Amino acid sequence: MRVLSEGDILFIIMAVRWTLLLSIVAFIGGGIGGLIVALARTSEFKWLRWLALSYIKVFQGTPLLMQLFLAFFVPGIFGIDVDPWGAAAVGLSLHASAFLGEIWRGSIEVVPRGQSEAAYSLGLTYVPRMFLIIIPQAIRIAIPPTIGFLVQLIKGTSLASIIGFVEITRAAQIINNATFRPFTIFALVALVYFLICWPLSAYSKVMERKLTVASR
Q: Cβ–Cβ contacts within 10 Å for residue 26, how many? A: 26
| Domain assignment of residue 50, yes or no | yes
Cα(33)–Cα(55) distance, rounded to whole angstroms?
Answer: 11
Question: Which residue did the predictor score with more confidence, 127 or 14?
Answer: 14
Question: Which residue did the predictor score with more confidence, 144 or 113?
Answer: 144
The CATH number for 178's domain is 1.10.3720.10
| Domain assignment of residue 1, yes or no | no
- Angle at which helices 84-110 and 135-156 pack, to 10 degrees? 150
> What's the domain count of the chain?
1
Q: What is the mean pLDDT of the chain?
A: 91
Q: Please compute the mean of the pLDDT values over residues 105-128 and round it to a whole number.
A: 82
| Domain assignment of residue 69, yes or no | yes
| Domain assignment of residue 20, yes or no | yes
Question: What is the reported pLDDT for 50?
Answer: 96
Q: Are 11 and 179 in contact (CB under 8 A)?
A: no
pTM of this structure: 0.91
| Domain assignment of residue 59, yes or no | yes
Counting Cα atoms < 13 Å in the Cβ hemisphere of 168 gives 27
CA-based Rg of the chain, rounded to a whole angstrom? 21
**pLDDT tens, residue by residue, 1-30:** 778 889 999 999 999 999 999 999 999 999
212 pLDDT exceeds 70? no
Question: What is the reported pLDDT for 115?
Answer: 78
| Domain assignment of residue 151, yes or no | yes
152: containing domain: 6-214
Question: Going by C-beta distance under 8 Å and a sequence separation of 6 or more, which residues neighbour residue 158?
Answer: 19, 167, 168, 169, 193
Cα(27)–Cα(33) distance, rounded to whole angstroms?
Answer: 10
